Structure 1
Amino acid sequence: MVKEPAGSRWSRRKQARPSEIIDAALDLFVERGFAATKIEDIAKRAGVTRGTPYLYFANKEELFKAVIREGLLPSIATGEALVRDFDGTGEQLLEAVIHFMWGAIAKTKLAGIVKLVVAEAGNFPEVATYYYDEVVCRGQNLVMNALQYGVERGEFRAMDIDYTMRVVIAPVMMAMIWQHSLGACVNEPFDEQRFLDSYLGLLRRGLCHRIE
């Protein structure tokens, strides 16, 4: 077997370090919150020296932005492409958006970022503003575009698109927060299929024109 040059192993390891640091940061942000997570703890979790994260990230705020950029923004872009290229009914599009948001974010550890931002926004406005601009606004637009699509096709009743979007998103956000707060403290398993069936059933009856 040909022995790999030590230099190439070092290069590959060095290239892997930013993603390892980001993964460790996500784990600790979700477990402990933003304020309680220290850069040295992230380095330890990532298996690197205390100063290594500073080679790639100026501070903890920049590391948080990297977590969002690497973990959430690619999924948001996928959702935007889903809406842009969709060919079907308004009801199908809205359900596709909800299922997408659930599968890409709510079912993953990234859902813990929602609780973090809600809990610590007042103390870390730069972090919260970045999350709002890059994730919340684009996620809201996914739902607003789906609602507008259904209204324009005559499938959904006339509505206040902006505030209906907020009502549509709220249960998903609450479910994510629940799983990383009270849901972790009570002996009450969260049945995601029952939740989605109940939630989507309410949306169908609340948004769509019905012929009696």
Structure 2
Amino acid sequence: MVEPSHSPRAKAAVRHARRKDARPSELLDAALDLFVEKGFAATRVEAVAARAGVSKGTLFLYFPSKEELFRAVVHENLSTRFADWKAEYETMDGSAVEMLHHALQSWWTRVGATKLTGLTKLVMSEAQNFPEVAACYHAEVVRPSQQLLRGLIQRGIDRGEFRALDAEYAVYSITSTILYLVMHKHALSLVAPVPEQLMPERYIASQLDIILHGLLQPGQAPASRIPALS
């Protein structure tokens, strides 16, 4: 006998199915919060399950280990964004300078100003004890972000906006801006007096200006040149 769709049992079955579909997302949300709050080592899967309102056994049905749970958190919250970011930059009509500025400012708005930077802080502080966690973050976030920025720099070189330079290593000058903001947000800002608090948007603009124009006056050659490495 087919249960009527409006019966209490049928409605309960629908609610259960919806609840089951929502569980992975709820587990990932709970895991993100706890990884950011406590770090990788101190986060217990029991606590993640409890915050998501399920049993530890249910968590392991979706994520066999804490490492797999971390990988899923990184993938869901960061890795999946790179395809959209790449498509966005490929369709932009602005100059290479405008694109770099947009890349840094939009990173701050979409990631830096959110709790997601806690994942970067986690990796920086716990990489030595959990190299597999650092390797996951490097593959899922660091490498794609470097490829994206390298493409923006190369685009500027190809268009004649930037001089020919080592684009592979120029990327580190850009990403160092991001890493300092993360370090300041999660460490230095906690002890700095209010007048010394960093303004992220102003800092990004200043760093990009230095990267693009250097410290010397226009037309002034440095007293000595940095030797090129072969």
Scaled by the length of structure 1, the TM-score of the pair is 0.90
Q: Is the 8 A contact 1:39 1:50 kept in 2?
A: yes
Q: Which residue of 2 aligns with 1:23?
A: 29
Q: Which residue of 2 aligns with 1:66?
A: 72
Deviates more, 1:163-172 or 1:186-195: 186-195
Query: Is 1:132 matched up with 2:138?
Result: yes
The CA distance in 1 between the partners of 2:124 and 2:60, in whole Å, is 27
Q: Which residue of 1 aligns with 2:121?
A: 115
* Structure 2: 5+ residue stretches without partners: 1-5, 221-230
Q: Is the 8 A contact 1:114 1:177 kept in 2?
A: no
Query: Is 1:191 matched up with 2:199?
Result: yes
Q: Is the 8 A contact 1:112 1:177 kept in 2?
A: no
Q: Is the 8 A contact 2:173 2:211 kept in 1?
A: no
* 1:123-156 Cα distance to aligned partner (Å, 9 max, x none): 2122211111121000011111111111111111
Q: Is the 8 A contact 1:28 1:37 kept in 2?
A: yes
Q: Which residue of 2 aligns with 1:39?
A: 45
Q: Which residue of 1 aligns with 2:154?
A: 148
Cα drift, residue 95 of structure 1? 1.4
Q: Is the 8 A contact 1:117 1:128 kept in 2?
A: yes
The CA distance in 2 between the partners of 1:78 and 1:99, in whole Å, is 16
The aligned length equals 209
Q: Is the 8 A contact 1:83 1:145 kept in 2?
A: no
Identical-pair percentage: 42
Query: Is 1:11 matched up with 2:21?
Result: no
* 1:82-123 Cα distance to aligned partner (Å, 9 max, x none): 222232211112112212322222111111111111111122
Q: 1:185 to 1:19 in 2, by over 3 A?
A: farther
Query: Is 1:160 matched up with 2:170?
Result: no
The CA distance in 2 between the partners of 1:105 and 1:184, in whole Å, is 19
Query: Is 1:201 matched up with 2:186?
Result: no
Q: Is the 8 A contact 2:181 2:200 kept in 1?
A: no
The CA distance in 2 between the partners of 1:70 and 1:57, in whole Å, is 13
Amino acid at match of 1:46: A
Picking from 112, 115, 128, the partner of 1:106 is 112
Amino acid at match of 1:49: S
Structure 1 residue matching 2:64: 3-state secondary structure: coil
The CA distance in 2 between the partners of 1:182 and 1:53, in whole Å, is 36
Cα drift, residue 193 of structure 1? 2.5
Cα drift, residue 211 of structure 1? 7.9
Max Rg structure: 2
Cα drift, residue 185 of structure 1? 4.3
Scaled by the length of structure 2, the TM-score of the pair is 0.83
* Structure 1: 5+ residue stretches without partners: none
* 1:56-103 Cα distance to aligned partner (Å, 9 max, x none): 100000000110111001222221112222322111121122123222
The CA distance in 2 between the partners of 1:109 and 1:36, in whole Å, is 18
Cα drift, residue 177 of structure 1? 2.5
* 1:21-75 Cα distance to aligned partner (Å, 9 max, x none): 1011111111111011010111122222232211110000000011011100122
What is the root-mean-square deviation of aligned Cα atoms in Å?
Answer: 2.1
Query: Is 1:87 matched up with 2:59?
Result: no
The CA distance in 2 between the partners of 1:57 and 1:136, in whole Å, is 23
